[in-house]
Chains A and B, each alone.
Chain A
Amino acid sequence: MKYLTILFLFYSQLSHALEEEIENWFNQESLKFLEIMNNSDRNNNENFEEYIKFITNNFAVKSIAYGLIPESIILKSNKSDLYDYEISFQNYLTKTIYNLSNSSTYAEIELIDIDLKDNIYQINSKMKEGKNSINLYWKVASINSSYKILDVIVENTSYFVTKKSEFSKILRKNNGDLRKLIEILNKI
């Protein structure tokens, strides 16, 4: 019984520490994101560079990119094609987030709560500007001892799910040709 109590105390302390750690990471990175989003001093190119840095540091680009295409295509593709796809996807992801951020301005991201399910943190937050607010969920995993975003869900619309349906359609139309998908991503 004594050991069980010690184990329980240890576990609750550990989970509390982890929760505090991810909370700090989220608060720090969301502030950085708002700063990039609302910075009107920089020109477009400089700001785009900032988005690239932010995405490279905080998004699980490889996991998202590979998750968006069927596993059979990953297995049959050569290393060079997969590498090109990763790079094209990273640019595409940056452009999407850049467009999304440029279409609106928000002053604050408020953390509502954090849930842990199947080793994935689900962060519930609100983006606010005056009386307007939008619901934002972030799915985050600890990869190589740093936190990486796997999906962003804006007002119930998941980035991962939306892109998966788009990419699946492109690949189906082009007989699973990954080069064709890369070509289309590079055009956007």
Chain B
Amino acid sequence: MKTLLKAIVLNLLIFFSFNNLSFASEADGVSSIRYDEIYDPLEPVNRSISSFNFFIDEVAIRPIVKTYKFIAPDPVEKSISNFFGNLKEPIQVISFIFQGEFVKSLNSAGRFTVNTITSLGTFDLASRIGLTKNETDIGLTLAKNGISSGPYLVLPIYGPTNLRDLSGDIIEFIIDPVSNNIPNREYVYIGDALNERYEVDEEIELIRNSSSDQYEMLKSIYYQNRNSQIEEDYVQNLPTPKIYIE
């Protein structure tokens, strides 16, 4: 299984290098990204999968999330969220090293140690003692090392991503020191995915209720969120409408 995954990652990275040559202008500067023209050569396939995902979400995932939201008291929800967040700290230690952010890497290592020892990660004591949470992942590390996003992708159940972020997730799956040592880790992934879905429940509702094109809206939100993590002064660099006299 691991050999197969390694082969997939290698292939993806080879594709990346060609992709970088063909779409060099996209990598020239993140702020120059035009959100209305995101590179999406697989749009027809992506749209079909996106509709399938919205359907599955409506009939299966959303009811689970709603029930969980209804049953679980707030402190339990918070503890579960903390637990899954804590499992991601070791991979963040590695990611920050490759971004040259050594202080943040040490901070993540400290957070993982403190929170695991004191509560198995269910309570964020580390934040209380000054080790604040910083989020990153391998996809962001690839981005900060100059690799462009590649084509936008929508995968069944998994949802929106792009070639770079998908490669990052596969690398994480292979090298994650914590999850690799947990028996039945598929349950951890399912739990984590449901927790993440729970955390974006309001946003998904908004996309359902107020979008003229759910696919485009989700794509735009995905890219804006990722770019806000990559680019400094992200908000300042967002395009603003030209002023017309009202």
* Cross-chain contact A153 with B206 (CB below 8 angstroms): no
B233 nearest CB across to chain A (Å): 10
Inter-chain contact A60/B220, CB cutoff 8 Å: no
Q: How far is the CB of A74 from chain B (nearest CB, A)?
A: 9
Those 6 A-B pairs whose CB atoms lie nearest each other, nearest first: A67-B241, A156-B228, A168-B36, A165-B220, A96-B210, A165-B36
A–B pairs, 9, beta carbons within 8 Å: A62-B244, A64-B241, A67-B242, A144-B245, A151-B241, A162-B35, A166-B211, A166-B216, A168-B37
B221 contacts across to A, CB distance below 8 A? 157, 162
Bound CA–CA A25/B221 (angstroms): 29
Which chain B residue has the least Cβ–Cβ distance from A146? B246
Taking a contact as CB atoms under 8 Å apart, the answer to whether B224 and A144 are in contact is: no
Across the interface, do A104 and B241 meet the contact criterion of CB distance under 8 Å? Answer: no
CB distance from B101 to the nearest CB of A (A): 20
CA distance A129 to B224 in the complex (A): 25
Nearest chain B CB to A180's CB is how many angstroms away? 11
Q: B184-219 vs A: 1/0 string, CB under 8 Å?
A: 000000000000000000100110011111001101
11 A-B pairs besides A162-B221, A185-B212 with CB distance below 8 A are: A66-B241, A92-B212, A96-B210, A103-B202, A122-B235, A141-B243, A150-B243, A156-B235, A161-B220, A166-B217, A166-B220
Interface 1/0 per residue, A88-114 and B, CB below 8 Å: 000010011001100110000000000
Answer whether residue A170 sits at the interface, using C-beta atoms and an 8 A cutoff: yes
- Looking at chain B's contact residues, the main secondary structure is helix
Q: Are B241 and A160 in contact (CB under 8 A)?
A: yes
Determine the chain B residues whose CB is within 8 A of the CB of A156 once the complex forms: 224-225, 228, 234-235
Known contacts: A60-B246, A143-B246, A185-B212. The answer to whether A161 contacts B239 by CB under 8 A is yes
In the complex, the answer to whether A117 meets B212 with C-beta atoms within 8 Å is no
Report B-chain residues with C-beta under 8 Å of the C-beta of A53.
none
Asked whether A62 lies within 8 Å of B246 as measured between CB atoms, the reply is yes
Interface residues on B, range: 20 to 34
A188 touches B245 (CB 8 A): no
Please tell me if A164 contacts chain B, counting CB pairs below 8 Å. yes
CA distance A156 to B35 in the complex (A): 14
Residues of chain B within 8 A of A167, CB atoms compared:
212
* A103 & B205 in contact (Cβ 8 Å cutoff): yes
Q: Is A13 an interface residue (CB 8 A)?
A: no
By the criterion of a CB under 8 Å from any partner CB, how many residues of chain A are at the interface?
A: 45
Q: For residue A114, give the distance in angstroms from its CB to the closest CB of chain B.
A: 13
B238 CB-CB contact with A under 8 Å: yes
Q: From A171, which residue of chain B is reached at the shortest CB distance?
A: B36
Nearest-Cβ distance from residue A42 to partner chain B, whole angstroms: 20
A120: chain B residues within 8 A (beta carbon): 240
- B236 interfacial contact with A, CB 8 Å: yes
Q: In the docked arrangement, what's the CA distance between A170 and B216, Å? A: 9
* A144 / chain B contacts, CB cutoff of 8 Å: 245-246
B106 within 8 A of A: no
Minimum CB–CB distance for A24 against chain B, Å: 21
Residues of B contacting A164 in the complex (Cβ-Cβ under 8 angstroms): 35-36, 239
Complex CA distance for A104 and B203, rounded to whole angstroms: 11
| Cross-chain contact B212 with A60 (CB below 8 angstroms) | no
Instruction: Report Cα–Cα, A21/B202, bound state, in Å.
Output: 34
Cβ of A32 within 8 Å of any chain B Cβ, yes or no, is no
| In contact, B210 and A100 (Cβ under 8 angstroms) | yes
Determine the chain A residues whose CB is within 8 A of the CB of B217 once the complex forms: 162, 165-166
- Which of A96, A143, A161 sits near B243, CB closer than 8 Å? A143
Residue numbers in A under 8 Å from B224 (CB-CB): 156-158, 161-162
The answer to whether A60 and B213 touch across the interface, beta carbons within 8 angstroms, is no
